[in-house]
Structure formats: structure tokens, C-alpha cells
Amino acid sequence: MVSYKVVETSIVTDETLEAILNEYTAQGWRFENIQFAMREASKRPSMAFVLFTREDPS
């Protein structure tokens, strides 16, 4: 069975994203994707959703 983890952050910096990736991959999660939510008035994302999966033993 596959489990999914979604980590939301409103601090979208390289340091924050790197910390999230390192924390959850160390826990056995496999990185899948990052989705960014953009603001109309800015070229920088306002939020990021970091997606992970892992196989759970049955």
C-alpha cells in the first residue's frame, strides 16, 4: 500500500525547501513533486506543497 505525505509551507526559500526535503527523505519518504502557488502581483510563489510517497509494509 502506498502512503502519501503533503507538506505545505508559506516560506518558499531554498533553505526551507531543502530542510523539508532532507527531513522527510530521512524518515523514509520518497520525494515526488513540488507544486507552487503563485500570487498575481509577484513572480515569487506565495506557497509550496511538497509531495512525498512511501510503501507501507502490509
Domain count, the chain: 1
pLDDT of residue 13: 97
CA 44 – CA 38 distance, rounded (Å): 7
3-58 pLDDT per residue, tens: 999 999 999 999 999 999 999 999 999 999 999 999 888 889 999 999 999 998 76
pLDDT of residue 56: 87
pLDDT of residue 2: 96
User: Which residues constitute the domain of residue 36?
Assistant: 2-55
Residue environment code for 8-26, b if the CB has 16+ CB neighbours within 10 A, otherwise e: ebeeeeeeebeebbeebee
- Count of other CB atoms within 10 angstroms of residue 50: 21
